[in-house]
A and B are shown apart, each in its own frame.
Chain A
Amino acid sequence: MYLLKLLFRNAFRHKLRTLLTILAITIAILAFGLLRTVISAWYAGVEASSATRLISRNAISIIFPLPLSYKDKIRQIEGVKQVSWGNWFGGIYIDEKNIFANFAVEPKSYLELYPEFILPPDQLSAFLRDRKAFVAGRKLAAKYRWKIGDTVVLRGTIFPGTWEFVMRGIYRGKDETSDESQFFFHWDYLNESVRKISSSRADQVGFYMIGVSRPDRASDVALAIDRTFKNSLAETLTETEKAFQLSFISMTEAIIIAIQLLSFVVIIIIVAVVANTMSMTARERIGEYAIFKTLGFRGWRIAATICGESLFITMLGCALGVALTFPAASVFKSLLGVYFPVFNVADETLYMDFAAGFLVGLIGSIVPTWRALTIRIADGLRRIG
């Protein structure tokens, strides 16, 4: 109790210095938390992926299509429960600033395969009935203030032309890891339109989405699919949804590594700030530590005072940083929600924040503690006056 009182009063002896240090720690923890959340958001698709879904694409590259006829052969493979297909549409809304994920999908099978996208029954039937219909996630609809019945026009990039859609539904995600910023419409609408412009591109799909009956059979099913189309004109590469998502992320691995390094650099900088503050503090109080030693206080009590003060300051800054991470993440999400549809501060990030704060406090107090413990009493007392 006495120790707590002492370290609390010591911590606020130089109010401005302590407040500036706390502010620096707060900003650093906030930056660390946001950077870790960016990394988590990058992997959100991976986290949300299902173990019972496979993605099959052209073995050469995803930009090459697969014949629509594969769907029947895939259905016949043992262990396959459902098959759906789709194309990345790559449409632009109004101008290039408005980028969001938009797909042409076979609607019925797609929604069966992705139960995490929840659509009210009346909207579902309206969507299935209308070939020009589209469904958008709740966040996307809110962002552009789309309402049911609105006509939305996308400019095609992969499939040139102006494409008109009518909004028939707004889905919501099953949980916070579900992406609520997608736009999907009828694959048939795309296929029919493409057939009119360029018949050679018709009846081609970008990828198949396959539901398997048991997760433990996923790899066997994937091998069986690829074996079926081996030595054909369009060989397949089938992998779990997780592996498929990771293959996309691996393209941007350098950026993720840079962000990870940056987040740790922030922590290293803050260690230096805290160590500097605590060193200044210990230098000023070296005489007092000598008094404590004179009175018979052992080294561990003095070490506890310095470490405790350092931890008190850092954990206070850390708590403030963590508290500010939530509103900051919310602002971040509203500004960059298109790039990071799932941008939630994960529990792991909070644990890392507190662990980082604790380590910073501990490391920052090592040198001052060592100096306080090793100074000779007579030398320390000489510094007073």
Chain B
Amino acid sequence: MRYAFFGQMELKTPIVEIKEISKSYRRGSRIVPVLVDINLDIQEGEFLALMGPSGSGKSTLLNLIAALDKADSGIIRVGGIDITSLSEGDLAAWRAINVGFIFQFYNLIPVLTAFENVELPLLLSGLSKRERRDHVGLALQVVNLVPRMDHYPAQLSGGEQQRVAIARAVVTDPKILVADEPTGDLDRVSAEEILDLMDRLNHESQKTIIMVTHDPRAARRAHTVRHLEKGYLNSTVENGIARESKETG
């Protein structure tokens, strides 16, 4: 499928293709459907926000796209690879190369410094120590945290921790960034900084960003906003920036 969003941007083959995905959880003897027949294409370079009330299945869908969880049925292709058919070991290797993760609670390792946290994904890359140091330095430069690289997470503010997490997410130069409520634990100023940073990564580095959020301000930064309700994906496709202009205008 080829379509245009933003009016001026011609899009190519989707980087993420989701076909007929369903997922349910077992709660005792009950089976609770979380996602039902989801179909979604995400274009390369797109900034997509997934919104919806709690329990609507947003995070589950994000986990499936990032290969953190397995669907009950359906197919997910990312960059042409059917990730639903990969083994656990292959998925681990695939994630290490292709996906960067940003979480609500930053999920840094508390006993490692900012530098070491960012270096973590590179340990699987086979790079030399020197090459790793260069990559980490660059990633910390992007998030403007070089002076704080020897600090432990507990010595950093929430916004700084999230910037370290972003540096960790981009240090391997993945095509896709998945963010689960990236501003959910931050004050307004820090949240804006993080969203600015994500904007830059999307515009300047052409990262495809898939973000789950409750925050309308965060959603406004996205090119596309999709809503989930009770496991179903609404057919309405909103343009985040257009929505912002409408609201502010």
**Hey, which bits of chain A sit against chain B, CB under 8 A?**
2, 6, 9-10, 13, 287-288, 291-298, 376-378, 381, 384-385
Do B63 and A287 have beta carbons less than 8 Å apart? Answer: no
Do B69 and A377 have beta carbons less than 8 Å apart? Answer: yes
Q: Give complex CA distance A103, B68 in Å.
A: 80
Q: Give complex CA distance A24, B96 in Å.
A: 40
Q: Determine if B124 is an interface residue (Cβ-Cβ < 8 Å).
A: yes
| Nearest B-chain residue to A382, judged by Cβ | B59
Q: Give complex CA distance A10, B124 in Å.
A: 20
Do A294 and B95 have beta carbons less than 8 Å apart? Answer: yes
For B96, give its contact among A291, A296, A385 (CB under 8 Å): A296
For B95, give its contact among A10, A296, A378, A384 (CB under 8 Å): A296
| Known contacts A6-B111, A295-B95; A377 and B105 CB within 8 A of each other | no
Q: Determine if B103 is an interface residue (Cβ-Cβ < 8 Å).
A: yes
Chain B residues with Cβ below 8 Å from A297 are: 92, 124
Which residues of B38-94 have CB atoms within 8 Å of chain A's CB atoms?
60, 63, 66, 68-69, 89, 92-94
| Nearest A-chain residue to B63, judged by Cβ | A378
Do A385 and B111 have beta carbons less than 8 Å apart? Answer: no
Q: Hey, what's the 0/1 contact readout for B209-225 against A, CB within 8 Å counting as 1?
A: 00000000000000000
The distance from the CB of B126 to the nearest CB of chain A, in whole angstroms, is 12
For A376, give its contact among B69, B95, B120 (CB under 8 Å): B69
**Hey, which bits of chain B sit against chain A, CB under 8 A?**
60, 63, 66, 68-69, 89, 92-97, 101, 103-105, 107, 109-112, 120-121, 123-124, 168, 185
25 cross-chain CB contacts under 8 A: A6-B111, A9-B112, A13-B111, A287-B107, A291-B107, A293-B92, A294-B66, A294-B101, A294-B107, A295-B101, A295-B120, A296-B94, A296-B96, A296-B97, A296-B124, A377-B63, A377-B69, A378-B60, A378-B68, A378-B69, A381-B68, A381-B107, A384-B103, A384-B105, A385-B185
Do B96 and A295 have beta carbons less than 8 Å apart? Answer: yes
List 19 other contacts, CB 8 Å, given A294-B66, A297-B92, A384-B107.
A2-B123, A9-B112, A10-B111, A13-B111, A288-B109, A291-B109, A294-B101, A295-B121, A295-B168, A376-B69, A377-B63, A377-B68, A377-B69, A378-B60, A378-B63, A378-B68, A378-B69, A384-B105, A385-B104
Chain A residues with Cβ below 8 Å from B112 are: 6, 9
The distance from the CB of A275 to the nearest CB of chain B, in whole angstroms, is 22
Chain B residues with Cβ below 8 Å from A287 are: 107
Do A294 and B68 have beta carbons less than 8 Å apart? Answer: yes
Chain A residues with Cβ below 8 Å from B123 are: 2
Q: Give complex CA distance A385, B105 in Å.
A: 6
Chain A residues with Cβ below 8 Å from B89 are: 298
Chain A residues with Cβ below 8 Å from B68 are: 294, 377-378, 381
The distance from the CB of A70 to the nearest CB of chain B, in whole angstroms, is 77
Do A296 and B101 have beta carbons less than 8 Å apart? Answer: no
| Nearest B-chain residue to A1, judged by Cβ | B129
Do A296 and B92 have beta carbons less than 8 Å apart? Answer: yes
Q: Give complex CA distance A9, B153 in Å.
A: 14
Chain A residues with Cβ below 8 Å from B105 are: 384-385
Q: Give complex CA distance A292, B68 in Å.
A: 12
Q: Give complex CA distance A294, B93 in Å.
A: 10
Chain B residues with Cβ below 8 Å from A294 are: 66, 68, 95, 101, 107
The distance from the CB of A1 to the nearest CB of chain B, in whole angstroms, is 9
Chain B residues with Cβ below 8 Å from A10 are: 111
| Nearest B-chain residue to A2, judged by Cβ | B123
Q: Give complex CA distance A298, B69 in Å.
A: 15
The distance from the CB of A373 to the nearest CB of chain B, in whole angstroms, is 10
Chain B residues with Cβ below 8 Å from A292 are: 120
Q: Give complex CA distance A10, B109 in Å.
A: 10
The distance from the CB of B152 to the nearest CB of chain A, in whole angstroms, is 10
Chain B residues with Cβ below 8 Å from A381 are: 68, 103, 107
Q: Give complex CA distance A80, B154 in Å.
A: 82
Chain A residues with Cβ below 8 Å from B93 are: 296
The distance from the CB of A313 to the nearest CB of chain B, in whole angstroms, is 15
Do A9 and B124 have beta carbons less than 8 Å apart? Answer: no
Q: Give complex CA distance A125, B54 in Å.
A: 101
Chain A residues with Cβ below 8 Å from B120 are: 292, 295
Chain B residues with Cβ below 8 Å from A293 are: 92
